[in-house]
Amino acid sequence: MLSEEERRLLHALADDCRQTPETLSVQTGLNAQFIADKLAQWENEQVIVKYKPMINWEKLEANRVTAFIDVKVRTQRDQGYDHIAARFQKFPEIRSVCLMSGEYDLCLIVEGTNMYEVARFVSDKLSPLESVENISTRFVLRRYKDDGIEFQGKEERLERLVITP
């Protein structure tokens, strides 16, 4: 169980992973050595798996497509969802694999250079798998906010024209 101090530290680090223990100390009120030791412990225990920037790819690449692919699967005897998810994780096109509640069992986040490439991945690699029963693909048209970060600032927002009768 996390203490309030540990929770405060993780939230500060999640907001900006580039901060030093000294900067985090000022921000959280915690001792810098405690922070350094805690970060080393969390890295060793793989609580902190990776430090990663959030990039607004739409500003850099026009040829990037993201799709949410919902998959209904048929589990085999002695091989549950973890076995199927482990197989999906091996595909480089798949960025995330999540077990879901509801009509579909797994949600895959897939990236490609265009919709055709993602569709071909679904038809050539996912659909033929014996464990796959049903697939529903939804393409991301635009990201407005991701992981709490707004991607469309006030200066970029399109103003709708007022239409009067």
State the DSSP string of 55-90.
--GGGT-SS-EEEEEEEEE-PBTTB-HHHHHHHHHT
Q: Nearest-CA neighbor of 108 among 63, 73, 142?
A: 73
| pLDDT at residue 110, rounded to an integer | 97
Specify which residues 58 forms β-bridges with.
Answer: none
DSSP 8-class letter at 48: S
Q: Nearest-CA neighbor of 19 among 7, 32, 6?
A: 32
Please state, in angstroms and rounded to a whole number, the distance separating the CA atoms of residues 78 and 113: 37
Structure tokens at 54: 């959030």
Residues 64 and 15 in one domain: no
| pLDDT at residue 56, rounded to an integer | 75
Domain membership of residue 163 (yes or no) is no
Q: What is the pLDDT tens value at each position of the chain, 165 positions in all?
A: 889 999 999 999 988 889 999 999 999 999 999 999 999 999 999 999 988 877 777 778 777 899 999 999 998 787 889 999 999 999 999 999 999 999 999 999 999 999 999 999 999 999 999 999 999 999 998 888 887 778 775 555 555 666 766
Residues 86 and 39 in one domain: no
| pLDDT at residue 165, rounded to an integer | 66
Residue 23: domain span:
4-44
What is the number of domains present in the chain? 2
Residue carrying structure tokens 């922070």: 35
Q: For the domain that residue 137 is a member of, what is the CATH number?
A: 3.30.70.920
